[in-house]
Structure 1
Amino acid sequence: MIELRALRKVFGDTVALEEIDLSVPAGEIHGIVGRSGAGKSTLIRCLTGLESPTSGTVSIDGVDLTGQSGSGLREARRSIGMVFQHVNLLDSRTALNNVAHPLQIAGVGKAERLDKARELLEIVGLGDRVDNYPAQLSGGQKQRVGIARALAAEPKVLLCDEPTSALDASTTDQILGLIRSLRDRLGITVLIITHEMSVVREICDSVTLLADGRVAKTGRLAEVIAEPGSALAKDLVPLPPVSIDDSANRLVEVSLAGTDLPTVLTTAQKAGVSAEAILAGAVETIEGRQIGRLRFTVDSADEAQGLITALKADGIYAEEAA
C-alpha cells in the first residue's frame, strides 16, 4: 500500500532523508519513530506530496506521487487522510460541518456531504455531538472529529502525525483503540508518526526507527523488540530508573528475548548471583510473546563478567551497562 524506494531529500547542503526504503502492506498499522531532527517531518511532507523528493519514489496504492502534479497530485492525495497533533478544527463550524468541510471543497452536494459527515461522527462515537462547536468539545472529542474529517474522502491510508501527544493517558488509550477499530472495520492502512514508544507498543504491527535521515531499524514489532541489544528494543521496553548507593557496583542488563525468567534466574544462581540482585525489570506481551529486560547489580567487574559469561553460555544475551 505504501512504498518508498531510495527516497532522498536535500535542502541546500543539508541531507534530510537518505536512501529511505519502506514498504507498508495494506491494512497494517506502522509506526515511525525517531528523535528530533531524525527526518520525520520531512518524511510526512514527502508522503503527502507537500515536498518533492530530490530523488526516489513515493507510491500510495500503486500510484507514484512523485510523478504527479496539478490535478493528478490532488487526486492522488485523496487516498491519504491526515490526522494532526493539534487537530486544527474550524472554530466557527460545528463538528458536523468540520467533518463535511473537505467534501465541500471537493464539490460534493450539501445533502450528501452532511449525511456522510453524520455517518462518520457516529463511527467515531460522536453522533450526539454533531451540533457542538470545537470550544464545546474535550481534547479527545476534538481528535475524534479530526479523525472523522480525515476519513471523509474515504482514503486508503490514514497518516497520523503525533495524534496523542497532547492528550492525557486515558484519552490516549481511547484514541488508539478507535484507530485500531477503524483499521479493522474499514481495512485502511495506518502510518503513525510519534515519539511516544508506548503508542508503538500499544497499536503498531511494525515499526521503523529513523536516525539522521536514514532507516536505522525496521521490522515487525515483536521481532524488533526481541532483538537483543537493540537500541530501539531498549526504547520500546524501557527499564524503570534506578539508583545504586555504591558507585563501585556493576550493572548487567539481560534480554528475555528467546528465553524466560526462570531460566535466567537459574543460570544467574549458578554464577553466584541471586534474584535479590535484580534492580529493575520490564516485561511486555507483544503478539503473544513475552519480551523483557532485567538489570542486575553485582559487586565487582569480575562478578559482572562471570554472570555475563554464564548467561551467554546458555544462549541468553547479556551486557554490562554503563
Structure 2
Amino acid sequence: MIELRSLRKEFAGVVALEDIDLSVPAGEIHGIVGRSGAGKSTLIRCLTGLERPSAGTVAIDGVEISGRRGEELRRARRSIGMVFQHANLLDSRTALGNVEHPLEIAGVGKRERRERARELLELVGLSDRAGNHPSQLSGGQQQRVGIARALAADPKILLCDEPTSALDSGTTRQILGLIRSLRERLGITVLIITHEMSVVREVCDSVTLLENGRIARTGTLLEVIRDTDSPLGRELLPLPPRQPGEGTVIEVLLTDVPLRALLEIVDRHAVDARVDSGAIETITGSQVGRLQFTVDDPGAAQALVADLATAGIHAEVTR
C-alpha cells in the first residue's frame, strides 16, 4: 500500500532524509518513531506530496505521487486522510459541519455529504453529538470528529501525526481502540507518527525507528523486541528501575518460552536468585516479557546464562 524507495530529501545542502526504503502492506498499522529532528515531519510532507523528494519515489496503492503536480496531485492526496495532534476543528461549525467540510470543498452535494457525515459520526461513536460545536466537546470527542473528517473522502490510508499526545491516558486508550476498530471494519492502512512507545505497543503491528534521517530499525513489533541488540526493542518493552545492590545482574527475554522453563533451570542450578524487576506485555496477541534478577556468585551466573541459552532463552549478564 505504501512504498518508499531510495527516498532522499535535502534542504539547502542539509540532508533531512537519506536512503529511506519502507513498505507498509495494506491493512497494517505501522508506527514511525524517533526523536525530534529525526526526520518524521519531513517524511510526512513527502508522503502527502507537500514536499517533493530530492531523489527516490513515494507510491500509494501503486500510484506514484512524488512527481505529480496540480490536479493530479490533489486527486492522489484524496487517498490519504490526515489526523493531527490537535483536531483543529472549525469553531463556527457543528461536529456534523466539520465532517462535511472536506466534502463541501470537493464539490459533493449537500444531501450526499450530510448523509456521509452522519454515517461517519456514527462510526466514531458521536451520532448524538452531531449538533454540538467544538467548545461543547471534550478533547477526545474533538479528536473523534477529526478522525471522522479524515475519513470523509473514503481514503485508503489514515496518516496520524501524534494523534494522542494531547490526551490523557484513558482517552488515549479509547482513541487507539477506535483506530484499531476502524482498521478492522474498513480495512484501512494506518501510519502513526508518535514519540510514545505505549502507543506503538498498544495498536501497531510494525514499527520503524528514524535516526538522523535514516531508518535505524524496522520490522514487526515481535521481531524488534526479539532483536536483543536493538535499543528500540528495549524501549518497546522497558524494565522498571531496579534498586542498586550487590551481586551479578542477569537479564532474560521471554518470548515463546514459558516462565516455568526458566524457573526450572534456575532451580536446577541451585542459585540464590532475587528478582529485581520485570515487565510482561501482550504484543500483537503474543505475551512477551523481560526479567531482571541478581545472583551472588558470578561463576554460577555465567553457567546459568549458558544453560538458559541452550534452552532457547536469551539471557545476558548486564552487571
**Shared fold by TM > 0.5?**
yes
Q: Distance between the aligned counterparts of 1:227 and 1:269, measured in 2?
A: 27
Task: Measure how far apart 1:201 and its partner are.
Answer: 1.5
Task: Measure how far apart 1:192 and its partner are.
Answer: 0.8
Tell me which residue corresponds to 1:221.
Answer: 221
Tell me which residue corresponds to 2:317.
Answer: 320
Task: Measure how far apart 1:41 and its partner are.
Answer: 1.1
Task: Measure how far apart 1:129 and its partner are.
Answer: 0.8
Q: Distance between the aligned counterparts of 1:45 and 1:31, measured in 2?
A: 16
Q: Distance between the aligned counterparts of 2:208 and 2:214, measured in 1?
A: 10
51-60 vs 14-23, which moves further? 14-23
- State whether structure 2 residue 199 is matched by structure 1 residue 161: no
Q: Distance between the aligned counterparts of 2:302 and 2:14, measured in 1?
A: 43
Task: Measure how far apart 1:305 and its partner are.
Answer: 3.2
Task: Measure how far apart 1:295 and its partner are.
Answer: 0.6
Task: Measure how far apart 1:224 and its partner are.
Answer: 2.1
Tell me which residue corresponds to 1:80.
Answer: 80
SS in 2 for 1:277: strand
Q: Which runs of 5+ in 2 are unaligned?
A: none
Task: Measure how far apart 1:162 and its partner are.
Answer: 0.9
Task: Measure how far apart 1:279 and its partner are.
Answer: 0.6
SS in 2 for 1:5: strand
Tell me which residue corresponds to 1:291.
Answer: 288
Q: 2:302 aligns with which of 298, 305, 308?
A: 305
Contact residue 28 and residue 189 of structure 1 kept, 8 A: yes
Task: Measure how far apart 1:312 and its partner are.
Answer: 2.5
The residue identity in structure 2 corresponding to 1:253 is E
Q: 2:247 aligns with which of 241, 246, 249?
A: 249
Q: Distance between the aligned counterparts of 2:291 and 2:13, measured in 1?
A: 43
SS in 1 for 2:271: coil
Tell me which residue corresponds to 1:37.
Answer: 37
Q: Distance between the aligned counterparts of 1:23 and 1:250, measured in 2?
A: 42
Tell me which residue corresponds to 1:267.
Answer: 265
The residue identity in structure 1 corresponding to 2:306 is T
187-196 vs 106-115, which moves further? 106-115
Residue correspondence of structure 1 range 187-198 to structure 2 within 5 A: 187-198=187-198
Q: Distance between the aligned counterparts of 2:58 and 2:260, measured in 1?
A: 47
Task: Measure how far apart 1:93 and its partner are.
Answer: 1.2
SS in 1 for 2:250: strand
Q: Distance between the aligned counterparts of 1:98 and 1:273, measured in 2?
A: 64
- State whether structure 2 residue 70 is matched by structure 1 residue 70: yes
Q: Distance between the aligned counterparts of 1:141 and 1:226, measured in 2?
A: 37
Task: Measure how far apart 1:88 and its partner are.
Answer: 0.8
Task: Measure how far apart 1:193 and its partner are.
Answer: 0.9
Q: 2:274 aligns with which of 262, 277, 287?
A: 277
Tell me which residue corresponds to 2:125.
Answer: 125
The residue identity in structure 2 corresponding to 1:51 is E
Contact residue 227 and residue 257 of structure 1 kept, 8 A: no
Task: Measure how far apart 1:42 and its partner are.
Answer: 1.1
SS in 2 for 1:167: coil
**Aligned-pair identity (%):** 67
Contact residue 52 and residue 67 of structure 2 kept, 8 A: no
SS in 2 for 1:297: strand
Task: Measure how far apart 1:265 and its partner are.
Answer: 2.2
Q: Distance between the aligned counterparts of 1:131 and 1:307, measured in 2?
A: 65
Task: Measure how far apart 1:173 and its partner are.
Answer: 1.3
The residue identity in structure 2 corresponding to 1:268 is V
Q: 1:223 to 1:113 in 2, by over 3 A?
A: same
Tell me which residue corresponds to 2:6.
Answer: 6
- State whether structure 2 residue 208 is matched by structure 1 residue 208: yes
Contact residue 31 and residue 206 of structure 2 kept, 8 A: yes
Task: Measure how far apart 1:228 and its partner are.
Answer: 2.9
Contact residue 250 and residue 317 of structure 2 kept, 8 A: yes
Q: TM-score w.r.t. structure 2 length?
A: 0.94
- State whether structure 2 residue 53 is matched by structure 1 residue 56: no
Q: Distance between the aligned counterparts of 1:253 and 1:13, measured in 2?
A: 44
Q: Distance between the aligned counterparts of 2:278 and 2:3, measured in 1?
A: 38
Task: Measure how far apart 1:263 and its partner are.
Answer: 1.7
Aligned residue pair count: 319
State the Cα deviation string for residues 98-134 of structure 1 (Å, max 9, x = none).
1111111111122222221111111111111111111
Q: TM-score w.r.t. structure 1 length?
A: 0.93
Task: Measure how far apart 1:273 and its partner are.
Answer: 3.1
Residue correspondence of structure 1 range 101-180 to structure 2 within 5 A: 101-180=101-180
Task: Measure how far apart 1:302 and its partner are.
Answer: 4.2
Q: Distance between the aligned counterparts of 2:294 and 2:10, measured in 1?
A: 46
Contact residue 274 and residue 295 of structure 2 kept, 8 A: yes
164-173 vs 248-257, which moves further? 248-257
Q: Which runs of 5+ in 1 are unaligned?
A: none
Contact residue 268 and residue 310 of structure 1 kept, 8 A: no
Q: 1:111 to 1:34 in 2, by over 3 A?
A: same
Tell me which residue corresponds to 2:237.
Answer: 237
